[in-house]
Amino acid sequence: MNADFSELRVKMVDGQVRTTDVTSAALLDAMLSVPREIFVGDRQRDLAYIDEDIRIADGAGGARYLMEPSPLAKLMQLAEISGADSALDVGCGTGYASAILSRLAGSVVALESDPALAETARSALSSTDCGNVTVVQGALAQGHAAKAPYDVIFVGGSVETVPAPLLDQLAEGGRLVAVEGQGNSGIARLFFKAGGVVTGRRAFNAAIKPLPGFEREHAFEF
């Protein structure tokens, strides 16, 4: 298959994203401008625009995925990102979500725990004119305190619960978007910091792949 990626990009936005109540013009323009095929392996490029999560790596902690376009867009719209915002992309993988964020926010820190994925993200982002993105390596659940606080934190996969270190790195007025729970029990939540206090609310159901490194430590029971 010799795909016309620009045509597939339009079909993705029109058929998968607009139809799920994503109306932000800036976000839609960003998704139309970022070549999603650059952020998957060479053998996966013809599948880059399907409405499914795409496996991008296998790791000791668990497989990693490029999030399906619709929930990714809905989460970003929920965060109401503006050009003055500083953003943290937790679990950037190969960098696709960071590339979208780069078109919406003023600056982006792309956090990745896997060294190979981090290097892939650096290469892909540099080839797609994302000069306002910095890729850093570290434990995902710990965030990246060196550049905190952030106006927006995007968590690139489902987690059991959002850990305190990420919430602590929100700026006043900051928003964190994440999916808590796995499979059909996943719930997209928006966390907001006001008056130094972080509160959260349920936004919509979302079934996305889990992000390794956020598993709860189960206490020993007698």
Is 220 inside any structural domain? no
Is 222 inside any structural domain? no
Q: Helix or strand or coil: residue 173?
A: strand
Using CA atoms, how far residue 80 sits from 23, 27, 155, 189, 204, in Å, is 11, 10, 15, 13, 15
Domain count, the chain: 1
Averaged pLDDT, groups of 10, the chain, 222 residues long: 82 97 98 97 94 90 93 98 98 98 98 96 96 97 98 97 97 98 93 97 96 71 50
Is 155 inside any structural domain? yes
pLDDT, position 216: 67
pTM recorded for the entire structure? 0.94
Instruction: Name the residue range of residue 181's domain.
Output: 5-205
CATH number assigned to the domain comprising residue 52: 3.40.50.150
pLDDT, position 183: 85
Q: What angle do CA 42, 119, 94 make, to 5 degrees?
A: 55
Angle of the 69-79 helix axis to the 96-104 helix axis, nearest 10: 30
Is 67 inside any structural domain? yes
pLDDT, position 213: 87
Is 213 inside any structural domain? no
Is 212 inside any structural domain? no
Instruction: Please tell me the distance from the alpha carbon of residue 200 to that of residue 18, in angstroms, as a whole number.
Output: 26
pLDDT, position 182: 87
Is 133 inside any structural domain? yes
Is 219 inside any structural domain? no
Chain length of the chain: 222
